[in-house]
Amino acid sequence: MITDHSHPAPPEWWPKDWWRGAAIYQIYPRSFADSNGDGIGDLPGITAHLDHVASLGVDAIWISPFFTSPMADYGYDVADYCDVDPTFGTLADFDALVARAHQLGLRVTIDLVFAHTSDQHPWFTQSRASRTSERADWYVWADARRDGTPPSNWQSVFGGPAWTWDARRRQYYMHQFLKEQPQLNGHNPAVQDALLDVARFWLKRGVDGFRLDALNHALFDPALRNNPVLGARDKRERTRSFDYQRREHSQNHPGVVDFIKRIRGVCDEYGAIFTVAEVGGEGVLPLMQAYTAGEAHLSSAYGFEFLYAPALTARLVARALAQWPDGGAEGEGGGGGGGCWPSWAFENHDAPRLVSRWCASEHRDAFARLAASLLVCLRGNIFVYQGQELGLEQDEIPFHLLKDPEAIANWPLTLSRDGVRTPMPWTSAPLGGFTDGEPWLPLSAGNLGRAVAVQEGDDAALLAHWRAVLAQRRGSAPLRLGRLENCVARGDMLYFERVYGDERLACAFNLGAMPRRVKELGRTIGAYETVIVPLA
């Protein structure tokens, strides 16, 4: 087992903003490590396994929500932004986690959910009590139409109307996800002030950054105008009522940009704080770039181009990279669309495992290595989801064991998020070293065979490959900060160059199962092979 996790002194080219070009490891706390035998991962479990994370050579961790919550959406329904849910531990446990992470050279980023709360949050309890309460307009309330129907045609992401009737106020309240997740009124300055105080609370406890969940959902059209209905010519498969509309009025309000400036102002009070926006939906690239342009907005935006793609193709990668051209000096922000800094992920807690989406089972090992090498070569920040370094596959969860509310509601047409949230296998024992109790989701035999203990010490294992490629990125100015030039997609062949100062690296990837010639290098490379070589 590796015990020396110290990073070497940073070189002269190291960015002044620690996060630029960083590799960030996402931890889903319910499924990472259980310290008390209740079958659910917790903060002390994370702390106990941070040595493994540090050994990968990443720069930071991102912890999905651990706040007080009734867990209707497993933590994304927050009942108290400034406390830890007892399921996960205590504030003292969080402080210990931050201290240990910093000791290991890891920055700590956490999820903040600013679009909605739980319906059990005290703010909502007060808001629904009456139309004249102190927080009456902290959420989105509206009268029924004359016939008693909701005030607009807006639909929720998880299916069904985005409005629920409340008998206490005799009004509808809005929710863009579950009815247990009422929409905050982000147009209200007092709501923004309260959310900024939440950010300050965690910054004072030592966090180094935030992922801002569903940020483009934070504001909406105050006039509550109906969303346009998609025309008959739109032939996309629709499994949710949400899919029948263009969400022009229920989300993506331009006022989010002004709120972002306020968030950035608070973060600047605490130094080099990393902020990354989750901006989901179609046609949101202009929003992502507006949210991150210049020095008054967020650090980065989290890209969805790969997370739900049915195949990883050279053309897909080239198109995604072209949307974020370089602007300004190397390693700096610059202005406009070219000056924005992207973030990339191939997996996360909502999206299926890449080896189960992108390749045949007989090619999984080779493809997982290729995907790791490709990710570390992309310009921007990269996110690695827990277990990705092991090559975990998507687990099949039977209906009677499902926990994901979206999958239950839309069964069997919505892919369950539970399949990517199954516990981290630390050993090949039946419970994977994850818990001494009954795990909240089952572990599969296939993934137990890919456990950390199985791969540790094996130089030929995928885990060793991940450590090698992350070390390569960390030690390379072109890969971490350089420009991206000469990107070419030709069939299964992807080629581009990363450039920093006088250093130029050629990066070639064969995404197919047959050898392919790279004319830029004057050579043929094998199936699922990667070549990264310096150019004169």
pLDDT of residue 412: 78
d(CA 272, CA 107): 11
Closest by CA to 394, choosing from 373, 418, 371, 414, is 418
d(CA 40, CA 460): 32
Closest by CA to 7, choosing from 481, 476, 480, 471, is 471
Is there a contact between 123 and 144 (Cβ–Cβ < 8 Å)?
Answer: no
| Cα 247 versus chain centre, distance | 22
Closest by CA to 5, choosing from 100, 118, 91, is 100
d(CA 336, CA 434): 46
| Cα 421 versus chain centre, distance | 13
Which phi and psi (to 5°) does residue 68 adopt?
-55, 130
The answer to whether the peptide bond before residue 15 is cis (omega within 30 degrees of 0) is no
d(CA 229, CA 300): 31
Coil vs helix vs strand at 189: helix
Q: Is 213 a catalytic residue?
A: yes
Coil vs helix vs strand at 439: coil
pLDDT of residue 414: 73
- The sign of the CA dihedral 183, 188, 194, 198 is positive
- The catalytic residue among 93, 119, 208, 213 is 213
Is there a contact between 29 and 46 (Cβ–Cβ < 8 Å)?
Answer: yes
DSSP per-residue letters across 215-265: GGGS---TT-PPPPBPPTT------SGGGGB--TTTS--TTHHHHHHHHHH
CA-only gyration radius of the chain, Å: 23
d(CA 466, CA 461): 9
**Which residues touch 401 (CB under 8 Å, ≥6 apart)?**
418, 441, 442
d(CA 180, CA 175): 8
d(CA 84, CA 94): 8
- The catalytic residue among 269, 295, 396, 458 is 269
Could you report the average pLDDT of every consecutive run of 10 residues in the chain (536 residues)? 52 87 98 98 98 98 98 96 98 98 98 98 97 96 97 94 96 97 98 98 97 96 95 69 90 96 96 92 90 92 92 97 73 44 95 95 96 98 98 93 84 84 97 97 96 98 98 96 96 97 97 96 97 93
- The sign of the CA dihedral 76, 82, 88, 94 is positive
Number of Cβ within 10 Å of residue 526's Cβ equals: 13
d(CA 431, CA 424): 10
pLDDT of residue 295: 87
Number of Cβ within 10 Å of residue 429's Cβ equals: 13
**Which residues touch 137 (CB under 8 Å, ≥6 apart)?**
127, 185, 188
Point out which residues pair with 383 in neighbouring strands.
Answer: 24, 345
List, in order of start, the domains of the chain with CATH numbers: 23-117+188-421+456-477 (3.20.20.80), 483-534 (2.60.40.1180)
pLDDT of residue 239: 73
d(CA 421, CA 100): 25
Two structure tokens written together for 159: 């299916």
Coil vs helix vs strand at 528: coil
